[in-house]
Amino acid sequence: MKIKGALLKSALIAALGGLLFGFDTAVISGAEGALKELYASRYLSLSEIFGSAGFWHGFTVASALIGTIVGSLIFGKPVDKYGRRKILFVLGALYFISAIGSAFAWGWSSFVIFRFIGGLGVGGSSVIAPMYNAEISPAKFRGRMVALTQFNIVFGVLLAFISNYIFSTLNLGDNTWRWMFGVEAIPALVFFFLLFLNPRSPRWLVSKNLLEEAKQVIEKLGADKGNVDEEIAEIQNSLAAEKDTAEEPLFQAKYFKPIMLAVAIAVFNQLSGINALMYYTPRIFQMAGFEKGSALLSSVGIGVVNLIFTMAALLIIDNFGRKKLMIAGSIGYIVSLVATAWAFYTYGTEFSDTGSIIVLVSLLVFISAHAFGQGAVIWVFISEIFPNKVRARGQSLGSFTHWFMAASISWMFPIFAEESGGHVFTFFAVCMVGQLIWVIFKMPETKNISLEDMEKKLGIKK
């Protein structure tokens, strides 16, 4: 059975939501320095009421992530009521509004609001794009079709770094940062209009009793069964089973272990400092002695390495195992973060070429370790440790924890980085020692373990 062209086309279009996710997440890294200068007086006036200037700059940078937390929570009911494709249209519109609004922001408040709107799109995309691709795909191809979203997220991050570097070379003056944000409007429009080519999710159509349209979609995209009627019946049975278990509460004693595992891996994911690196890459390189242009170009290198090692991990994760990838990634984290902290302690604000190279190499090792470990494992692991009855809510808990920590770390980073880059990276290194200990002694291996056996292994079933 080959992948049908209609399926691949539809999955690629939906996965553009992931590309916009990645782009929107990383694009601020090229502009945060300009924003710090532009809104310096506003930060100062706000700091007289509460917090420091660094606190308010961190809030500005993290405003999209705050939107992401909200977006990951609010689209659950609308996506069931109106359908996956309609909400993808909404997300495309949110990305477009955010891009144009951020580019033409007339003040600090308007900029924060438009970045928050973009964050709503990111949060929604993180849930709905993979959901849509999973529901339109036959089981044989589901993993690869859903993985297109993960690939596009990482690819979107790389495109943001490349775009930021290109605009920095065009001598656009004080408006450079506006172009960095505004260019996202183009892929947002492309995504919006290409969605008209996509069918509605067959699973959603069956849930609304639109059976004839569901049959047409399944025939077009491919089915697990040779008989489309059997496919429809299987979806109906699955929906009935879900309805029967919808009232099963997540927070009860028997689910304590998977809840703690999901929260732990999500917390450790952000305590590595990955989002601080993504959001403040040029700033970190400039702290390490790089010129502004070189700092942005080095960010591109970070994006390329991230993409390469993410793909490498996705190719071997089912054979190598989740735990081994996490151990390798944890060791890589520790080595790279200790080296980076040492460089900042040693060179302070007077970096030599040797010190700058140490930081560059260390951060390339860091992003490799993340892409090969946590980046590849976290969402797979969380999806495997919860039983069917509470899997959706368990994944939502993991996602919420992840984005909450991402916002918190990105918000606080400027405050602590102003004090000492060495202290910040030492903190992240210590946290990754904690992660390594947790992985070795507490994290179960989920590779090739059936759901039934996993429930027994975690004490959910005796």
Share of the chain above pLDDT 70, in %: 96
- Return the pLDDT at 120: 95
- The pLDDT, as a whole number, for residue 76 is 78
- The CATH number of residue 292's host domain is 1.20.1250.20
Last residue of a domain, which of 182, 198, 214? 198
Of the candidate ranges 72-86, 319-333, 377-391, 403-417, the one whose mean pLDDT is the lowest: 377-391
Looking at the fold, whether 145 and 277 belong to one and the same domain comes out as: no
Question: Is residue 33 domain-shared with residue 120, that is, in the same domain?
Answer: yes
Asked whether residue 271 falls in the same domain as residue 376, the answer is yes
**Are both 268 and 173 inside the same structural domain?**
no
Q: Give the integer Cα–Cα distance in Å for 290 and 397.
A: 39
Classify residue 226: in a domain, yes or no: no
* Res 1 pLDDT > 60: no
Residues 191 and 262 occupy one common structural domain:
no
Does residue 89 fall inside a structural domain? Answer: yes
- Based on the fold, state whether residues 193 and 324 are members of the same structural domain: no
Residue 459, helix vs strand vs coil: coil
Using the 3D structure, point to which of 180, 198, 216 is the last residue of a domain.
198
In a 3-state reduction of DSSP, which class is residue 184? coil
Residue 348 structural domain: 251-462
Q: List pLDDT tens digits, range 235-260.
A: 888 777 767 666 678 888 888 999 99
Res 2: pLDDT: 73
pLDDT in tens, 406-437: 999 988 888 887 666 789 999 999 999 999 99
Q: pTM score, two decimals? A: 0.85
Residue type, 389: K
Residue 243 lies in a domain: no
Average pLDDT, the chain: 88
Q: Does residue 292 share a domain with residue 159?
A: no
Tokens at 6, concatenated: 């209609």
257 and 187 in a common domain: no
Type of residue at 104: F
Number of domains in the chain: 2
Does any domain span residue 242? no
Which residue is listed with tokens 């491919």?
Answer: 222
Does 171 share its domain with 46?
yes
Place of tokens 């008989």: 227
In this structure, are 265 and 161 located in the same domain?
A: no
Contacts (Cβ under 8 Å, ≥6 apart) of 450: none
Residue 275 lies in a domain: yes
- Tokens matching residue 460: 């959910």
- What distance in Å separates the CA atoms of residue 296 and residue 335, rounded to the nearest whole number? 24
Residue 16 lies in a domain: yes
Q: Give the model's pLDDT for residue 451.
A: 59
Over range 33-42, report the average pLDDT.
91
pLDDT of residue 114: 97
Domain assignment present for 238: no
Q: Is 195 left (phi over 0), alpha (psi -120 to 50) or beta?
A: alpha
Clarify whether residues 38 and 143 are in a common domain: yes
95/86 Cα distance (integer angstroms): 15
What pLDDT score was predicted for residue 256?
Answer: 92
In a domain? residue 101: yes
Q: Of 153, 171, 198, which residue sits at a domain end?
A: 198
Quick one: 258 and 369 in the same domain? yes
